[in-house]
A = this chain, B = another copy of it.
Amino acid sequence: MIQELTRLPGVGPKTAQRLAFFLLAQPIADVQSLAEALLRARQNTRQCGVCCNLTEEDPCPLCSDSRRDRDAICVVERPADVQAVERTRDFHGRYHVLHGVISPLEGVGPEDIRLAELLRRLGEGTCREVIVATNPSVEGEATAMYIARLVKPLGIRVTRLASGLPAGGDLEYADQVTLSRALQGRREL
């Protein structure tokens, strides 16, 4: 059990041992209901046939919501990023979840993430702008450039989230790369 628990993110050997002893001290019924809940949630969750987000219904609630604009698709790395962008309440278009980024070092190529599905969607012709919201990491930037090269020839605008100083941040404590990008990406006032 400890070995299995250690595979969870953020759970090291010590935490795993603590969790294990906690579970061993619970009634069998409780452990069974936890085990079933985990399995049921996993069994009922699949990828949306449209946006590849995790969902219990296919298409997912976001894709089947007719009030959402069809002219913009926000491309993110992971399902949690959809929630992050939704929390801003500033984006009213659709999403596409890549389930990863291109990373030659880790052996992840373009065919290993949901790019073919994105291109198929763009082929429908309703999308005017692809907003690439991959993380501002080396792999996220490389994936953004790759997507731009694929999508721009289709006559669709490709934009990237701004990189710069976080809101409420402080110049004095900003790291050099962030401040460089803030400088390079400066905009007219």
Binding site for B on A (CB under 8 A): 76-78, 80-81, 83-85, 87-88, 90-91, 131-137, 144-145, 147-148, 152, 157-189
The A interface, classified by DSSP as helix, strand, loop or mixed, is: mixed
Judge whether B85 and A183 touch: CB under 8 Å.
yes
Contact of A84 among B148, B157, B174, B187 (CB under 8 A): B174
Contact of A179 among B78, B88, B145, B147 (CB under 8 A): B88
Other than the known A90-B183, A145-B189, A167-B177, what 14 A-B pairs have Cβ atoms closer than 8 Å?
Answer: A84-B174, A84-B179, A88-B180, A91-B183, A133-B183, A136-B165, A136-B166, A161-B165, A162-B187, A163-B182, A164-B181, A164-B182, A165-B166, A185-B185
